[in-house]
Amino acid sequence: MTKLEPAAGHVPITESWRQRARASKRRVVLADGSDERAQAAARYLEREGLAEPVILDDPANYCSPAVQEQIAISPKGEKIDLGDPLHVAALMVAAGEADACVGGASRPTPDVVRTALNCIGLASDVETISSCFLFVLPDGTPITYGDCGVVPDPSPDQLASIAISTATTHEQLAGERARVAMLSYSTKGSADGSRVDRVRSATEIVRQRMPALAVDGEMQFDAAWDQQVAAAKAPDSEVAGRANVFVFPDLDSGNIAYKITERLAGARAYGPLLQGTARVIHDLSRGCSADDIATVAVIAACQAAKGCP
C-alpha cells in the first residue's frame, strides 16, 4: 500500500489537500476548457497557488509532437481523436506534459473512462479501472465507497481489484490506514447464495494479493460500521465496527448507497474519482460547480504529487 501521510491533527481533510497541493504545485489540465465553470476553477486554482491549471479549449494548440507520439504508443490509437479536447488532455498527461487531467463537466462518465483506457491505460499492477467516492461526514470523519460509477456487475477478480484500488485511494487522500469491508447481505456465513459466494471469493483474492491490508467479508453494513453490532455478528474481525472503506458488490448498490449517504447523512461527497489508471485522470459530474472542479483538481494534484494514480 502507499506510504501514509503523518496525522493531520484537527486540520480538516479538505484543508490538508489544499496544503499538499500548494506545496507540490502540479500541472493539472482541465479538459472542459470552453466551459465557464472550468475557467472559473482555473482562475481560483491559480490565484490560490493550488496548481498550475491548463485550460484546454482548442485542442490544436496542445497537439505537441510528444502528444501525437502517444497515439502510436497506445494499443488503441485508432480510437484517439486529436480534435477531441478530452483525448488531448489525457494524452498530455500520458506524455508528461501535465501531471493530471480533470474532465467530464460536459461529457458522460463512459466518455471519460474510455478516454482514460485509450489514452493513458491501466497501471501495471491493476486489472480493472473503477471509481470511488470519498465522503467527509459532518463530524469530519472520512470514508470511501467503491465502486459507485464504472463496473456494473464485477466478477470476484474485478471486485478484488476494486477493493485494492479503493483502499489505496483512501490512504492517499485520508492519510490513514484503510480497513476494508467487503459488503453483502450476509455477515460471515449468516446467509448463502451465489452473490455471497462472489464476495467471499473476492475477499480471499484481496488477502492473497495484499496480505498486509486489513480486509474482511462478507459483511453487512451495520456489522462493518457499528461496534455493538460487530461484537455480535463478527467478534473476531479486525475490520468489523471499524471499517473506513466500503466495497459494494455491484454498481446498483454502490450508486444507491452513495446518493443516500450524501443526501440523508449530510456527507460531503468527492468523486467519482477514477482509479487504476497509469496516470491521474478524474471524472466530473455534468452538474458540477466551479468549486467542484477546483476541488477535484486539488485531489488530482495531491495524487500526482505522490507519484501514483
pLDDT band at residue 11, thresholds of 50, 70 and 90? Answer: confident
**pLDDT (mean) for 80-92:** 94
**Cell numbers of 195, please?**
452473490
What are the strands, taking DSSP E only, across 57-112?
100-103
Report whether pLDDT(1) > 50. Answer: no
Contacts of 141 (CB under 8 A, 6+ apart): 244
Enter the DSSP assignment of 142: E
CA within 13 Å, CB half, 238: 8
Distance CA 272, CA 166 (A): 12
Give per-residue pLDDT as tens, 105-118: 988 999 999 999 99
Give start and end residues of each alpha helix (H) in 130-193: 156-174
Give per-residue pLDDT as tens, 145-182: 999 999 999 999 999 999 999 999 999 999 999 999 99
Longest dimension (CA), the chain: 62
pLDDT band at residue 130, thresholds of 50, 70 and 90? Answer: very high
Which pLDDT does position 307 carry in this prediction? 52
